[in-house]
Structure 1
């Protein structure tokens, strides 16, 4: 059954269900949930379905399911419950996830949660970094080095080795020479950035100082590298004349809940370097840099409006 619900909205519904079942779910959070529901019909469809999935779980006979549901509150229980709910969402009788199944990210070799980044030295001397809400598999053997981006964004410093290194996303497979590369997966394409080295794709080459979209196994729109793309590895969000609406969309990748702005201010331009580990400070800086105010309905629901 295809319901036209995106993986992102499905995961938001799972997040809200888990939050609403917590002992500390307060009236302000309930208001934020209601706002999320009213914001889009897709949210309402996802919420209705996740409620059905939750009921099916509670009627299941599996010992694993029962152990998860009966476990005392803890981060481990939340992760296990999220995995069970997403399994129900992605089942044959569940949501028609439009582009990918979110479960592989939960079962990945390496993953980073919302708002966190990971630095992972690999066995060959390469260095893998995962951005917020990202996941990857790594497989090395005697013939090949293989890295699979399952979701989100990674940076890879490839060490010299006699074995080729293949980097795969949903959109194609790249052969990478030693160097530094950044790959971010979007809906329908991956953005590949080459800081040093060379990326090869079916005889076509992306050189150092270039970036391009990778879609359906082909390069699209090869152009000059935007070096600000890699600033996240240093914990920074660096932008130049970016629309405020786009800026907040980027910042929201590092936060839970809803972060947006009114149409009146969405087109304002913003430049600067902002520390990703302190998104609240970034929001405070917006009120200094632009004619806007930040309305905090709850910690999960924030809207930037005109003064």
Structure 2
């Protein structure tokens, strides 16, 4: 999504800026081959925001090369490595400054960077809280925890968490961008989407503005009303065990889920998006999952770069 210009500067979403950085890093690692060049052109042509972000990130790179900062010089001149790539990406994202700074604030990216607990893309965290509760963060998630003498508050800033609430005389509240929940002892899964949040109650009970949701139920909310309450999908919590479970899931939806655990862009061609897939897949190796798709379905996986992968129909 493109944000409106402010003070004459074009605003890009953090996601588009990050994709542009990935492409720049690929180019600095050596000349792109024909397939990579094709993928870059497809990305540039897919959205005008991509082209603008690409032009801007190249200008930022040139400015960084002109800096006298030892950090900038050492990072840009260092041999290609994972640490160099991370440092370069950090420098570029910071160097974008006016182009993404406001976007980061408006989309809660700065609070997530300063969160009490964070998990990067593709990783999960397991945390024991002071009251004996267990907090688990899914890929690219962030949360703040505020406990005092009278209350307990867990605030999901981004992504998804599972919370096992310990008994305590203090009430426990769970907040997302879309509302404030009151929880009893039990186990809960909360995921934050763009326009709503979804709570699943494995054990215990929860309430939203005084309206209860019991064990074995899940519901969406955006405000003081539960929406689309339904029976619990037990597969929602499989990520805690490092698994992605699909039961007759359309391939497009499956790849959307898998894409949460990978950096870059994972695309699904329209002609194969409705193919159904079932099974349990270990999240520790997303490349292996992609290889298995070619065995289970009439598809092929085209890897233009690590950060641009397309699943399409077999030739």
Question: Could you say which TM-score interval applies, normalised by the shorter chain?
Answer: 0.7 to 0.9
Q: How far is the alpha carbon of 1:156 from its aligned partner?
A: 0.8
In structure 1, stretches of 5+ residues that fail to align are: none
Instruction: Give the structure 2 partner of residue 106 of structure 1.
Output: 113
Distance 1:200 1:99 in 2: 29
Give the alignment of 1:15-26 within 5 angstroms. 15-17=22-24, 19-20=25-26, 24-26=29-31
In structure 2, stretches of 5+ residues that fail to align are: 6-10
Q: Count residues in correspondence.
A: 298
Q: How far is the alpha carbon of 1:68 from its aligned partner?
A: 4.8
Distance 1:53 1:299 in 2: 23
What whole-Å deviation, never above 9, does each CA across 1:53-79 have from its counterpart, x for those lacking one?
667777899xxxx46534546367357
1:278 to 259, 282, 285: 285
Superposed CA RMSD: 2.8
The reply to whether residue 91 of structure 1 matches residue 101 of structure 2 is yes
Give the alignment of 1:26-175 within 5 angstroms. 26-28=31-33, 31=37, 32-51=39-58, 66=69, 68-70=71-73, 72=75, 74=83, 77-78=87-88, 80-81=90-91, 84-85=94-95, 88-92=98-102, 95=103, 100-175=107-182
Query: What TM-score comes out, normalization by structure 2 length?
Result: 0.83
The reply to whether residue 8 of structure 1 matches residue 8 of structure 2 is no
Contact 1:87-1:103 within 8 A present in 2 as well:
no
Contact 2:13-2:100 within 8 A present in 1 as well:
no
Pick closer, same or farther for the CA change 1:227–1:204 going to 2, 3 Å: same
What whole-Å deviation, never above 9, does each CA across 1:209-242 have from its counterpart, x for those lacking one?
1111121343211111111111000000001111
Query: What TM-score comes out, normalization by structure 1 length?
Result: 0.85
Contact 1:83-1:106 within 8 A present in 2 as well:
no
The reply to whether residue 192 of structure 1 matches residue 199 of structure 2 is yes
Pick closer, same or farther for the CA change 1:157–1:228 going to 2, 3 Å: same
